[in-house]
Structure 1
Amino acid sequence: MKIRKILNNNAVIVNDEGEEKIAIGSGLGFEKQKNDVINPQKIEKLFVLKENEKLQQLLLRIPEKHFTVSEEIITHAEKQLNTELNEHIRVQLADHISFAIEREQNGIQLKNALLREIKVLYRQEFEIGLWAIERIKNEIGIEMPVDEAAFIALYVHTMKVQGGDIHETVRQTTMVQTMVKRIREYLNIAIDVSDIAYERLVTHLQFTLTRAKHQNSHVMDEDMFDMIKQKYMVSYHCAKKVADEAYASYGVYLPEEELGYITLHIERLRTQ
């Protein structure tokens, strides 16, 4: 396997059986030259992507340490989740991490408006995010706020889904946040985000939106649904408001069958 181009000390472009690939491994490019033969056993990762060009540009643009720590985060995430993450977003994650480090170095901190929802909806990914900011602190010497752990959690969650789209992940999480806000305003109550009822509501809303996206709703017995509407009238009207908001703001239709389950979660929250 011959080197065609050196990107940095740990990344090179190689010719592998007539196909250009990006090879990554500790010291792969160190003191090497074009046409040098590399030991395949030293290659930790080999990329053949449609985003190959983007990855090349990224490796030339961002500091080597930033990409290395990003790869360490991905490796850790794969071990924790026991799954191989979607490679197509790793460029975005490395780019995000590098930009976040630069922001911190310039004294600019971004608040994550979805922090509460992310901690509940993507608990395992958030733990990975916390590990990531600790790793960045140890490797780069930059201390990140907990908000950054939540940003990284969004990327990790998206990478878990084949063909995942970070914008869709943010959109759905924002929708959940908006729906909870409407519930709080309609009922005029303070919601304890550490309460199990809040966690159950948020998780249920996320699954409801996922089912709505795939047009696969929960089926509830008609008599049971009528009973819930009559018994928990305030919570049902609140659920209707939430459904109307989802349709008006995001174009997502929640069928009647789903409202019964949402009503039960709202009632539990309301009567805590």
Structure 2
Amino acid sequence: MAFRIHKILNNNAVVVLDEGKEKIVMGPGIAFQKRKNDLIPPGRIEKIFVMEEENEKFQQLLRTLPEEHIDIAEEIISYAEGKLQAPLSDHIHIALTDHLSFAIERLKQGYRIQNKLLNEIKVLYKAEYEIGLWAKQLIKERLGIEIPDDEAAHIALHIHTAKLDAASMNKTMRETTLIHELVDLIQTELGILIDKESISYQRLLTHLRFALSRIENGEPIHSMDEEMLALIQTKYAKEWACTQKAATYAEKEYGIRFPEEELAYIVLHIQRLRKR
């Protein structure tokens, strides 16, 4: 189906009217040497967007951001959908494009990009982080700019939160930050340095993530008999005291209450870490 151009946003994006509704149509060079009311050949169209709530914001980004940044963001999104074998929320076209362009400009100006949640993101959102590393290589090839792994992790979070069944960016950041802070607290209290590449660390993070999910959704906790619970509290008294401090922190700062059984399982994970 051929569309007639209603508004040109940039060389690769135009607005068309389809049954009175504005749609954003994208494709390489789709608006090159075109004017309003010209027809777009269907073979040139790669993507069509209907954004009910954020249509104006997306149009503004397409008009104002460098086209090469927009093209890279769209390529990352397409690659992510292919790797995850699932569609992403339309909002990612705004959120990732805006974020990526800002990050690229900061790097060009010599700013450092840091992400204190890098280690947690690498473990908890492994598939998305690998997409972030792919994006890192793409940006280097296209723009000659080396983005740090910290930025690859930012990209990973945008992709994760755009999955249709995922929590919002704020909620994901809050949960990942809490996990980061709990691991820091464990290290400080026990005077240990956790190997962030170890399987034990990865298991601890994964357990904490699912524990938070179970608590938030009111799901049953893995049961533990009283005798086993008492044994853990006695045998690993130092680790038990540490998890209680962590639980107090989570409740005070985040309003999240860990049941005793959950703390006992965390103790076992900590014990494995200390053995290393």
TM-score (norm: length of structure 1): 0.94
1:101 corresponding residue in structure 2: 104
1:199 aligned residue: 202
Give 1:217 shift.
4.1
| SS of equivalent residue, structure 2 residue 86 | coil
Task: Name the amino acid aligned to 2:46.
Answer: E
1:185 is displaced (CA, Å) by 1.1
Map 1:149-160 onto structure 2 (within 5 A).
149-160=152-163
Is structure 2 residue 210 aligned with structure 1 residue 242? Answer: no
Residues in 2 aligned to 1:95 and 1:173: alpha-carbon distance in whole angstroms: 22
Matches within 5 A, 1:17-36: 17-36=19-38
8 Å contact 2:87–2:164 — kept in the other structure? no
- How do 1:160-175 residues align onto structure 2 when only pairs under 5 Å count? 160-162=163-165, 164-175=167-178
**SS of residue in 2 equivalent to 1:193:** coil
Paired AA for residue 35 in structure 1: N
- Is there any run of 5+ residues in structure 1 with no aligned partner, and where? none
Structure 2 CA distance for partners of 1:112 and 1:48, relative to 1, 3 Å: same
Between the aligned partners of 2:57 and 2:97, the Cα distance in structure 1 is 11
* 2-structure distance, mates of 1:233, 1:161: 43
CA deviation vs aligned residue, 1:217-256 (integer Å, no higher than 9, x gap) = 4231333333333333222222211111111111112222
SS in 2 for 1:117: helix
Amino acid at match of 2:14: V
How much is the aligned-residue C-alpha RMSD, in angstroms? 1.6
Query: Which residue is 1:142 aligned to?
Result: 145
CA contact (8 A) 1:13 1:22 kept: yes
Q: State the alpha-carbon separation in 1 of the partners of residues 85 and 59 from structure 2.
A: 28
Task: Kindly report which structure 2 residues correspond to 1:1-272, keeping only aligned pairs within 5 A, or say none.
Answer: 1-49=3-51, 50-162=53-165, 164-223=167-226, 224-272=228-276
| Paired AA for residue 25 in structure 1 | G
SS in 1 for 2:91: helix
Which digits, 9 at most, give the CA deviation of each residue in 1:64-93, with x for residues without a partner? 110000000111111111111121132011
8 Å contact from structure 1 (residues 10, 25) kept in 2: yes
Matched residue type, 1:107: G
Contact 1:86-1:164 within 8 A present in 2 as well: no
Contact 1:239 1:266 in 2 (8 A): no
Q: Secondary structure at the match of 2:40?
A: coil
The alpha carbon displacement at 1:18 in A equals: 2.0
Check 1:151–1:198 CA distance in 2 against 1; reply closer, same or farther (3 A cut): same
Letter in 2 for 1:188: G
Q: Measured at CA, do residues 254 and 212 of structure 1 come closer, stay the same or move farther in structure 2, by a change above 3 Å? A: same
Moved more, 253-262 or 76-85: 253-262
Long gaps (5+) in structure 2? none
Identity %: 50
1:97 aligned counterpart, secondary structure: helix
CA contact (8 A) 1:89 1:159 kept: yes
Offset of residue 163 of structure 1: 6.3
Alignment check: 8 A CA contact 1:217 1:258 kept: no
Which residue identity is paired with 2:62? L
> Which amino acid in 2 is paired with 1:226?
A
Do the aligned partners of 2:119 and 2:196 also contact (CA within 8 Å) in 1? yes
Does the CA-based 8 Å contact 1:86-1:163 persist in structure 2?
no
**8 A Cα contact 2:6 2:16, kept in partner:** yes
The amino acid across from 1:2 in the alignment is R
The aligned amino acid for 2:100 is: I
